[in-house]
Amino acid sequence: MRTTIKDIANYLNVSTTTVSRALNDKDDISDKMRQKVLEVAKLLDYKPNSIAISLRKKTSEKVIGVVLPSVNHYFFSTILRGITTTGHGDDYLVMIGESNQDVKREKEIINQFDDHYVAGIILVPTRNKDSRENVEMIGRRGTPMILIDRTFDDYQGSYIQHDDFKGAYDATNHLISQGKRKIAMLKGGHDCSLSQTRYDGYKTALNDINLKSNSAFVISCTNANKEEGYGAAQKLFAQSIKPDAIFCITDQLAVGVLEYAKDHKISVPAELSIVGYSNSEIAQNVTPKLTTVGQDGFEMGQLAKEYLIEMVLRPEVIRQKVFSSELIKRDSS
């Protein structure tokens, strides 16, 4: 049996109230008694019962919930690592749920978190706009929450984001500076705001040198994986005007394009430059190494946790941060 405050109280012949007060460093208790309690607590190896505390306080002070589209995805799992890494030995516990880009599943997870009184939630919303409703649901309940990676128009809450516009702009501009002019883009699904922002960055970079974006050069890839990248490259190269560069919204897409290029003896980057997004593990391991836009998931995760803890302690605070993008030039461009 684990020691409870009752055991300590009995040992000292005092009430549990006194013990509780001593352990929680409250007033209304003498220093002498406080000392005695602390000694006995150590002696009996007392550990507070988190569940009982949660029930009484109606919040699991030291538990945060994290919901990710996938734990298997390099960028997301890096965020998770940022969150779970204990900075200075803090003792937060993290619950994890995978939405799989499914809004309904996302809602289920959030409700489960709620059941368990999580102190706060770190959420990477699905690509679907309806995730907004889930976000608002959390808001109504008053649970502190911080969004990572995606947000919504006019979103007033806390978030941590990456500068997608600048990332895409820099990437496109980089291709332009390499002398490329027929620059295609592989974007995401239509309801993905993040993809839209990157698309805007791409268009703006083209406009800045008076190049109109050619709609035949822009392909939507809903899953944004390697296979779609391969397929999109196929489509692009089936047209009469062929691109001399492709900016891809994910590294996976870029790897798919790269594979297509290899299969069809298109030399990279001479004939075709390729730029990906996220600086995944693969980006530096494919040949040629992929030029990509870096997103520091670890740092984003760490900061999200920091912010969230602030928000738990002081519910009125709102934190917003946009990480600047960083173009990592490698061999594919």
Candidates 4-12, 36-44, 91-99, 207-215: pick the segment binding a second copy (CB under 8 A): 91-99
The number of helices, as runs of H, and strands, as runs of E, in the chain is 12, 12
Total count of residues recorded for the chain = 333
Interaction of residue 5 with DNA, rule CB under 7 A: yes
Long-range contacts of 258-261 (CB under 8 A, 24+ apart): 258/286, 258/288, 258/290, 258/332, 259/226, 259/229, 259/230, 260/229, 260/230, 260/233, 260/234, 261/233
Give me the residues paired with residue 120 across strands: 64
Closest CB 97 distance from a second copy, rounded Å: 7
Span 113-132, contacts to a second copy by CB under 8 A:
113, 115-117
Interaction of residue 285 with a second copy, rule CB under 8 A: yes
Which strands form 326-328's sheet, in the order they lie side by side? Answer: 218-220, 183-187, 245-248, 273-278, 291-294, 326-328
Under a CB-based contact definition with an 8 Å cutoff, are residues 145 and 205 in contact?
Answer: no
Span 82-101, contacts to DNA by CB under 7 A:
none
**Contacts (Cβ under 8 Å, ≥6 apart) of 39:** none
Interaction of residue 104 with a second copy, rule CB under 8 A: no
Candidates 174-182, 186-194, 277-285, 324-332: pick the segment binding a second copy (CB under 8 A): 277-285
Question: How many CB atoms sit inside 10 A of residue 67's CB?
Answer: 25
- State the binding partner of 93 from a second copy, DNA, none, CB within 5 to 8 A by kind: a second copy
As given in the structure block, the two tokens for residue 237 are 């190269």
Interaction of residue 47 with a second copy, rule CB under 8 A: yes
Matching residue, tokens 């083209």: 206
Under a CB-based contact definition with an 8 Å cutoff, are residues 194 and 164 in contact?
Answer: yes
Interaction of residue 155 with a second copy, rule CB under 8 A: no
Long-range contacts of 17-25 (CB under 8 A, 24+ apart): 23/48
Candidates 111-119, 131-139, 208-216, 239-247: pick the segment binding a second copy (CB under 8 A): 111-119
Interaction of residue 2 with DNA, rule CB under 7 A: yes
Interaction of residue 77 with a second copy, rule CB under 8 A: yes
Candidates 25-33, 76-84, 170-178, 317-325: pick the segment binding a second copy (CB under 8 A): 76-84
Candidates 29-37, 166-174, 246-254, 325-333: pick the segment binding DNA (CB under 7 A): 29-37
Residues in contact with a second copy by the rule CB under 8 A: 47-52, 54-55, 60, 63, 70-72, 74, 77-78, 80-81, 84-86, 91, 93-98, 100, 105, 108, 111-113, 115-117, 255, 262, 281-282, 285-287
Residues in contact with DNA by the rule CB under 7 A: 1-2, 4-6, 13-18, 20-21, 23-24, 28-33, 46-49, 52-53, 55-58
